[in-house]
Chain A
């Protein structure tokens, strides 16, 4: 039995990550293609980015998507964090089984079902369809993801700190605010980021729940893709991939630094006692 990277393991990693990344790299490379034909290389050019910047409908869709994503991810983070705390800390309460069912089911529920169900609900409630209904829909399915992220962080967290605060007479809500929340903050931020990108990405649920005049970027891209592959879509895709990559990498670096700092603080605290 050999530890570490055997040749077989190294091959699996190389092939696996090549499978994941080569299509994305090809997409990025061909966004700089001079030719209108996506698959024939005709020299370097950034003209498709210029074309994209002049497409007003596209810019409007991008702004709409951003607005929906910012609002829905914030709502999802507040509700999802609460839900995560309930699952991890509240023990048994009446209706817990139903609650955990409603948290885990959206993770696997096919989007066509969620989208149709939410649309019919909005129609029944008499809500005018538009960015607001898309926002509610996104918050609903994203809060499940936030809840799972927060709950798994709470499960691995050292509870003795919370218990110490409660024993010293700190009210539960204050304990949550000053002790628990700062400790799980990285998970909450990760949850927000996840909710944000899920909303940015979503095509199916947005298509069902949106109304006239509220076209999101994925809907716009989808309708163009069905007409054919164009370098302009490659250009938009490249920008989206770039934003998400920078965001995720930055967040993980910040998280890592925070973790290191906390570790150092804990060591110092021990050294003092």
Chain B
């Protein structure tokens, strides 16, 4: 320590001693005075304020741009379409009558009635659920062996394998769906290859069928299934399987009673991550499916962009949300529970 610093220290100590001579009695006087206690508590709360400052921005953003919009969708689903901008009538209006104001609420249920009366919508909802359920099962069947093999690969390979699984997920979804058009077309690469092999004489019609939609969905959503499965399987203790086989358990049975239950968190998370978004899928059925591939997301898109019927589109979205709210809440609970377990 240099000389200058030492004198500074000494000066500071002297001043602190003088200050405490004055401050100590003042402090005890203040302590006896109730409002000061309130002030001290306020100062303690400064830490709390810091917390609030950190919580507020993301919280407010999500409330305004994620939660509140659903209230508006609900409101507009009760409006009537109108030739105006925005193209719907007001649901709430202030009406002046003889000097007093009334809040008029005009609820128009015809959008929902349309969804019930026209069985096109019911079929679209059911078909979306069917396609989502089948493609989730397919993705699980395709994804499980891959995730299992990744988890059993030598440790030094795993990082690279995970990277290879994530990479397609980062590249454009649209481009990956587009790539399949060139493959599945009648004069496409798959038919050309099969004809060259001599397996088929006539080209198969694959593009514009439900089958093409399944291929597209499984392809696009595969990483969402594989990565949670891999995370669960990688943590699994292999000695359990050895113990089972030592005790005479056959491998197939060991798979069902040990591997599958231990992989359950991954199976659940992966299935939610595939099933829920696929119910509302638009792009894949539009590009790979036929004109008869009925899915509710596609219908909503058409109501909005082709018919410019915002109220019906809102009603379709509300019902879709109502169908999906249970799986979404279950998914959120599952994620929150996993996060608690990780802490």
Query: Of the candidates A79, A97, A123, which one forms a contact with B86 in the assembled complex, judged by CB atoms under 8 Å apart?
Result: A123
Q: Is the CB of B72 within 8 A of A173?
A: no
Q: Give CA–CA (A249, B166) in the complex, Å.
A: 11
Chain B proximity mask over A215-248: 1 for CB below 8 Å, otherwise 0: 0001001100110010001000100110011001
Q: Give CA–CA (A117, B71) in the complex, Å.
A: 9
What residues of A have a CB within 8 angstroms of the CB of B173 in the complex?
201, 203
Asked, given contacts A112-B300, A120-B73, whether A23 binds B245 with beta carbons under 8 Å apart, the answer is no
Chain A proximity mask over B54-91: 1 for CB below 8 Å, otherwise 0: 11011101111111111011001000000000100000
A194 in contact (CB, < 8 A): yes
Q: Give CA–CA (A202, B72) in the complex, Å.
A: 23
Q: Is the CB of B335 within 8 A of A104?
A: yes
Q: Give CA–CA (A266, B112) in the complex, Å.
A: 63
Q: Give CA–CA (A131, B219) in the complex, Å.
A: 31
* Chain B residues with a Cβ closer than 8 Å to the other chain, count: 97
A270 in contact (CB, < 8 A): no
CB-contacts of B185-217 with A (<8 A): 185, 187-189, 192
* Chain A residues with a Cβ closer than 8 Å to the other chain, count: 93
Query: Of the candidates A79, A101, A110, which one forms a contact with B61 in the assembled complex, judged by CB atoms under 8 Å apart?
Result: A79
Q: Give CA–CA (A132, B306) in the complex, Å.
A: 24
Number of A-B contacts (CB under 8 A): 261
Q: Give CA–CA (A38, B180) in the complex, Å.
A: 12
B146 to chain A, nearest CB (A): 4
Q: Give CA–CA (A136, B68) in the complex, Å.
A: 14
Query: Of the candidates A99, A151, A222, which one forms a contact with B283 in the assembled complex, judged by CB atoms under 8 Å apart?
Result: A222
B75 to chain A, nearest CB (A): 8
What residues of A have a CB within 8 angstroms of the CB of B165 in the complex?
20
Q: Is the CB of B182 within 8 A of A24?
A: no
Asked, given contacts A3-B152, A24-B179, A155-B343, whether A140 binds B50 with beta carbons under 8 Å apart, the answer is no
Q: Is the CB of A194 within 8 A of B282?
A: no
Q: Is the CB of B176 within 8 A of A26?
A: no
What residues of A have a CB within 8 angstroms of the CB of B50 in the complex?
172-173
Q: Give CA–CA (A32, B179) in the complex, Å.
A: 14
Q: Give CA–CA (A17, B317) in the complex, Å.
A: 36
A143 in contact (CB, < 8 A): yes
Q: Give CA–CA (A99, B66) in the complex, Å.
A: 11
Name which residue of chain B comes closest to A83, CB basis. Answer: B58
Q: Is the CB of B62 within 8 A of A194?
A: no
CB-contacts of B164-187 with A (<8 A): 164-168, 170-176, 178-183, 185, 187
Binding site for A on B (CB under 8 A): 47, 50-51, 54-55, 57-59, 61-70, 72-73, 76, 86, 142, 145-146, 148-150, 152-154, 161, 163-168, 170-176, 178-183, 185, 187-189, 192, 219, 222, 226, 238, 241-242, 245, 251, 272-273, 276-277, 279-283, 286-287, 297, 300-301, 304-305, 310, 313-314, 317, 320-321, 324, 327-329, 331-332, 335-336, 339, 342-343
Give me 7 other A-B pairs in contact (C-beta within 8 A), A95-B59, A229-B182 excluded. A13-B150, A90-B55, A111-B277, A111-B282, A117-B69, A140-B65, A226-B286
13 A-B interface contacts by CB (under 8 A) = A9-B153, A19-B222, A39-B189, A39-B192, A102-B62, A104-B336, A120-B310, A139-B61, A140-B65, A143-B58, A221-B174, A225-B174, A252-B163
User: 6 closest Cβ contacts across the A-B interface?
Assistant: A110-B280, A117-B69, A16-B146, A9-B149, A12-B145, A121-B69
